[in-house]
Amino acid sequence: MNGKCLCGDVEFSISGHLPHLYQCHCSLCRKLSGSSSDTATFLNKEQFAWIKGEPIINSYRTDSGYRSDFCSKCGSNVLHLMDNRRQYWIPAGLLNDSKDNQIAAHLFVNSKASWDIICDVGTQFKEMPDINVLNKALQRTSR
């Protein structure tokens, strides 16, 4: 499976199966996505390879550590290596073919927008769960 930004200048490939997705409903992810939530997943570093564009990625980090990486040409939100250095955070909208993925978890549901209605069966977490708990929830065998 491959993925790329809006302009196509940042592109990557994924080997193996992709874990299910989560939606984060925190205020920062709402601002980042311009919508009710941000949809993404985590991928083991060994499953990931850059095709092109890594040098044109810019990063923004808040004082709290929240991170946003984006293509410097088109502004698309793009993936980044997480602080644990073992996984990439992958925005679902970059994926070219993720038709068999499902939302398996919702994060920060206690701070979701008043107009946001969660309509699927994904596990709802009031805040951010432990990363190991979330990784387990995203595995395809967990649904």
Say which CATH number the domain at 55 has: 2.170.150.70
Report yes or no on 143 lying in a domain: no
pLDDT band at 12 (very low <50, low <70, confident <90, very high): very high
Please tell me whether the overall predicted TM-score, pTM, comes out greater than 0.85 for this model: yes
Q: What percent of the chain has pLDDT over 70?
A: 97
Structural domain that includes position 50: 2-137
At 141 the pLDDT is: 59
At 115 the pLDDT is: 94
CB 81 within 8 A of CB 36: no
Report yes or no on 80 lying in a domain: yes
At 87 the pLDDT is: 92
Helices and strands, number each (H, E), in the chain:
2, 12
Query: Has residue 73 got a pLDDT over 60?
Result: yes
β-strand partners of 24: 38, 107
At 142 the pLDDT is: 44
